[in-house]
A and B are shown apart, each in its own frame.
Chain A
Amino acid sequence: MAELANQAPGSPAQQIDEAKRRKLLELVRGRALARPTDLAEDEVMVWPSLVVVEAVSAVVFLGILTVLSILVNAPLLDRANPNQTPNPSKAPWYFLNLQEMLLHMDAGLAGVIVPTIALVAIAAIPYFDRSPLGVGILGTSTKGRKIIAFSTVFTTIVLIGMILLDEVIGRGTQFGIGRYAQEELGMPEWVGGIILSSIIMIGAIGTMVVMIQRMFRPTRRELIIALFTGFFVTYWVLAISGTSFRGEGQMLTWPWNLPLEHH
């Protein structure tokens, strides 16, 4: 077989002598004997082993969904009225993290540039981390799981801290640091909204990377785990903050003081 494979492409088939041709035929016939039902040690038949899992989970989920839909009605407020702006006006909850960011920096940076960079970076992950190590193991390793825990705690604390800091510096107004830089220090709007905000975001991420480098000596995969966890946690922390802690005029408030139901 190896001899055949090593022949220059396009060389005439007649060169294969009769004995070799017989051997080749035997090889082909041998392969045909392998049936689709030949199971290896670590294999199972999809029917029933996988199909049962799929069917049961579909039925269980459909049951949960039906019960939920019987018990809880989808919201329907008053007819749309362009002349009556509700306070607060909120985007769908899965975009409220972007809306939360809008409170702290330039709209283009918060709503478009940062999410675009995040999505492109996520899509590019497999082109940076190409080692097959850790496939199939949740968090890659014990160290990986420690890094996930560290990144989760770090990101949560930094995000909540920055939201509160903006609230204190801005004395209850939006764009806390940006507005402070503009009104108290006389800087142009874009310095606070774009430059300062970018420095703070990059600084926060950079600090986490340096800390993880020092504490864990991570592999490339583990460093990417830290960054992805940072994104994952940021998405949900900001979405929860925007959904449950932003009341009238997008001011910080407790969830039970929220004026309108939002779904």
Chain B
Amino acid sequence: MRREQTLADRITGSALWRSVVRHGYPDTQRNQALIIASNVFLHIHPVKIKRYATKVTYTFCLGGLSFFMFLVLVMTGVLLMFYYIPSSEGAYQSMKDIEASVSFGQLMRNMHRWSAQGMVIAVFLHMGRVFYTGSYKPPREFNWVIGVLLLVTTFLLSFTGYLLPWDQLAYWAITVGSEIGGAAPIVGPQVNRILLGDFQIGQSTLIRFYTLHVIFLPLVAAFLMAVHFWRIRKDGGISGPL
């Protein structure tokens, strides 16, 4: 007995649909495998996985949330870049404009700010989860090192973004922060000069921090994340009881 073709059947059976989606509805194991393997965003996953790896109380989603917050930060960050002016003259006023006259500007800024703080916490706690479950042990030792580098990159991303509002909070936090860096033995003064691009925080500092924040460090983070995620699979998936 053939059932009648519905509208949905016609759409999903059309040449246009089939040219985009190469598999049928994922209610069979074959299609469930194809949907993962044929989609560029999903194929970061294996097709099948150990049952324990789906337990939320094992990972607390912390690594996934860190990545998700990175995505939120990229999206809201790009939107903020449309309005933000990286000049010591115009930065503060553009912040005021984003808050007062840009549609959803305040919301975008808030989401960017709170995910940035959240990402620092999530990445740190993710490190704790990986440590306390012994997931750094061979063969995952190099991925642990990549993870430490990602933690440092997260700190630097947050730190460089901190200056951009160009208010008193930003200015003096970065003053204190770069003084800490400048206290390094032997190379301290040079580190401080490289960070600030000047003897005190000014236009050259702002453009350095801005460039690091919106392009250089996100690329570094993306590069390290690509390695990090790839290695999870190559090292046998997420860890679990032996």
Binding site for B on A (CB under 8 A): 36-37, 39, 42-51, 53-54, 57-58, 61-62, 65-66, 68-70, 72-82, 84-86, 89-95, 98-99, 102, 106-108, 110-113, 119, 122-123, 125-127, 129-140, 148, 221, 225, 228, 232, 235, 262-263
Contacts and interface: CB of A to CB of B under 8 A. Distances in A.
Contacts of B200: 82
A129 B71 CA distance: 34
B70 interface: no
Contacts of A46: 32, 36, 45-49
B153 interface: no
Given A95-B159, A108-B184, A140-B134, A47 B107 contact: no
Interface residues of B, number: 89
26 contacts: A37-B29, A37-B33, A45-B33, A46-B47, A47-B33, A53-B56, A53-B61, A58-B64, A68-B114, A73-B106, A73-B110, A76-B95, A76-B165, A79-B167, A82-B171, A84-B168, A89-B173, A91-B176, A107-B180, A126-B141, A132-B137, A132-B242, A136-B242, A138-B132, A221-B134, A232-B128
B26 interface: yes
B170 interface: yes
Contact of A36 (B48, B64, B140, B180): B48
B176 A112 contact: no
Given A108-B183, A111-B184, A263 B169 contact: yes
Contact of A65 (B118, B136, B167): B118
Given A43-B48, A50-B54, A262 B133 contact: no
Contact of A135 (B109, B111, B112, B135): B135
Given A45-B48, A53-B61, A135-B239, A70 B92 contact: no
Given A78-B167, A94-B120, A102-B180, A47 B144 contact: no
A219 B24 CA distance: 52
B169 to A, nearest CB: 5
A123 B111 CA distance: 31
B contact face: mostly helix, strand, loop, or mixed? helix
A127 B111 contact: no
Most interface-central of B64, B133, B136, B169 (chain A CB within 10 A): B169
Nearest to B93: A79
A63 to B, nearest CB: 12
Contacts of B33: 36-37, 45, 47
Given A47-B42, A72-B110, A135 B120 contact: no
Interface in B98-141: 99, 106-107, 109-115, 117-118, 120, 124, 127-128, 131-138, 140-141
A49 B54 contact: yes
A136 B128 CA distance: 13
Contact of B175 (A44, A65, A89, A232): A89
